[in-house]
A and B are shown apart, each in its own frame.
Chain A
Amino acid sequence: MSLGKRIFFGAPALAMALIGASAAAEPVRIGALLSTTGGLAGLGIPQRDGVLLAQKLINANGGVGGEPLEILMEDDGSNPDAAMTKVNTLVHSQGVKAIVGPTGIAQTVAIGSVTQPLNIPVLAFTGIGPAVENARNCVFHMTPAQGLNARALLSYAKEIGAKRVGVLHDSGYGQVIWGVMSKLGDEFGVEFVQVEKFELSASDATAQAAKVKASEPDAVIVLSSLATPFRNLRQVGLTAPIISVHGTATYEIVKAMGDAADNIVHAEFLIAEDPLPYQVEFVAEFQKEYGRLPKHFEAAGYDAVMATVAALKRASSNAAPDALCQEVRTPYQGAFAQYDFTAKDLGGLTLSSFSYSLLTKGKFSRLPFKASQ
């Protein structure tokens, strides 16, 4: 073939190839706004691991309708002000289709004022919070609200016949849950015999733990994401059962509890040692990727991306934000739980979503108890 013919036939082919390459290289962008540093890093880092696993699996299976998925990761440093700045970057500079995260409730409420007017879907790792969130119909919630957490814990207390219950909670999220739980005692036939609070920054809560023990409770509910109160309760010689909110059901926090980690019951979602059928695939993929077992924070990160991509596939990758938001608003079977994003709280978790685990030498085992509405 002469040089002229080569150019004549080759140029259009080269042009088509370049156009094709550039089209193929145009990714679908989702923002991930997480707290991977600061006070919430213990939750944000596992969420990030789940998000990255989902991205890898989606791209390995053809992306979003043939287009690669790109997740733009931003760290808000566990600070709502920084979250506002970061979300403005993701939405207005990077043009993301949706946002997975934030990790914290303050950040979720804060960024909703940016995303909601634009109808950009946010899949937050928090339960629905203050009243202002009721009007935000594109902020979806991947974890239970405070009231549901409180009911899940009291359901177990009732199950084991605990009538005199002590409560040890921190001044952060623990106080928020206690605010709801304090009104539910009669409903569950429980008397709160001693309620003690400690500061989030406290390295010791022995005095509060001793007061709780002195009240001779049938069980103690711990509302915190720290290992400190568990160690202190055991140090003061508490033998009553300890029931804990899901925030401490991570291998890192359990390790930090040391010997105190035995015989603690968690109201949680993913017991990777004994996963539910809909969790088996995620646990296997996670273990293959990271060489360790996941917990529910990793699962929530994974689910948020998977649910967003499922909605993108239904709506098309260049759908308008409100159309995408509408597509997210549907039931979704996640690895964390069965979600119903059409529910009033835009998450649809219920008491039956909870699993109960018992800690023995740092391992979680499933308890037969299931709470019901």
Chain B
Amino acid sequence: MTKTVLNGRLAFAAVMLVGLILPAVFERHMVDLLVYAGLYTIAGLGVGLLLGQCGIVNLAQALFYGIGAYASAYSTVTLGWSPWSGILLGIAISVAVALVIGFPLLRLHGFFLALATLAAGTIGTIFFFEWDWLTGGTLGIGGLPPLSVLGFEFNSPARFYYLVWAVVIILLVLSSNLVSGRPGLAMRALRDSAPAAEVMAVNIHAIRTKIFALSAGLGALAGSLFAHYSTYVSVESFTVQRSIVFLLIPVIAGARSIWGTVAGALFVTFVPELLSGFGDAHQMLFGIMLVLVVTLMPDGLAGIPARVARRFAR
């Protein structure tokens, strides 16, 4: 084992240890924000896979996030299903929708594809508003049951924290494996030079569609978990603005970094909260901070350790 690998594992173990004790140390409000950061990491991971590995800008993630949330809400509150069934239903519907809309949309490229996903997200928000027999419209759906395993309910921020971050770590490991394997090579090939990848017998359209469906599934999972955490869903949580937040996560983190997604999610969760004390000016300040991060850190927050290491190596 090389020294670098050993240091990396020690750092990972230290982070895990700190993560384990955070709910005991932090106030409930902070734990609540960490839960949201975990949920946003899952949704942002999907957007990051598309952006960082395939070069696709996805502005429709709130659509899949919403499908997951509403599938969970409707199946548990109206149909009386178990929460876990609702989560699976949400993922299945989202993946199906992603395949149906992704097949034609993903033939587009660049700005046109970004605009097409924006349109899909906007249409989704309108459907959430209009189909009030299903979504509750403006009133939303309340009274979702908390998730539980063998009678143990995840009904507080501290309990939900451990659930959501366990899911986050599993997904990050799986995504890292995906990216470092053959599919990852193919994705990067099509991102860097689609014609060259095609010459190498990479089925560009199939890969883009599969990753889009995977991203949708992650969005739906995040939405379902969000629904059971907040026990209430309304259309205001699934607007295009939320899609932009999900896109910001990999942009801030450094789009090509899988584990950096966590830093991006922490940024979009905590910074607006810290700035909220400035009242109406807080959105402007958040915008300024975004510009600073993107301008001063082209590799995103995930690039900071490498920068620091380079500086010390001089």
Residues of A within 8 A of B (CB): 36-37, 75, 77-81, 84-85, 88-89, 92-93, 105-106, 109-110, 112-113, 129-133, 171-173, 175-176, 179
Contacts and interface: CB of A to CB of B under 8 A. Distances in A.
Interface of B is mostly: helix
B141 A75 contact: no
A106 B27 contact: no
A129 B279 CA distance: 29
B85 interface: no
Interface in B209-228: none
Interface stretch (B28-36, B175-183, B296-304): B28-36
Contacts of A130: 136, 139-142
Given A85-B273, A179-B132, A113 B230 contact: yes
B125 to A, nearest CB: 10
A176 B143 contact: no
B236 to A, nearest CB: 6
A109 B230 contact: no
Contact of B29 (A77, A92, A106): A92
Interface of B: 27-29, 32-33, 36, 129-130, 132, 136-143, 157, 230-232, 234, 236-237, 273, 276, 279-280, 283
Contacts of A80: 140, 230, 232, 234, 236-237
A112 B142 contact: yes
A322 B27 CA distance: 24
Contacts of A171: 129-130, 138
A176 B138 contact: yes
15 contacts: A37-B280, A75-B276, A80-B230, A85-B33, A85-B273, A88-B29, A109-B140, A113-B142, A113-B232, A130-B139, A130-B142, A171-B138, A175-B137, A175-B138, A179-B137
What secondary structure prevails in chain A residues at the interface with B? Answer: helix
Given A75-B276, A172-B138, A106 B132 contact: no
Given A75-B276, A80-B234, A85-B32, A105 B139 contact: yes
Contacts of B32: 84-85, 88
B234 A109 contact: yes
A176 B138 CA distance: 7
A176 B36 contact: no
Nearest to B142: A132
B241 to A, nearest CB: 9
B28 A84 contact: no
A109 B230 CA distance: 10
B279 A106 contact: no
B93 to A, nearest CB: 22
A253 B138 CA distance: 22
B72 to A, nearest CB: 15
B130 to A, nearest CB: 8
Which among A78, A109, A175 has the greatest number of chain B C-beta atoms within 10 A?
A109
A72 to B, nearest CB: 12
Given A84-B230, A175-B132, A93 B142 contact: no
Which are the 6 A-B pairs with shortest beta-carbon distances?
A: A132-B142, A132-B143, A92-B28, A106-B234, A89-B29, A113-B231
B279 A81 contact: no
A208 to B, nearest CB: 16
Contacts of A79: 236-237
A312 to B, nearest CB: 24
B158 to A, nearest CB: 11
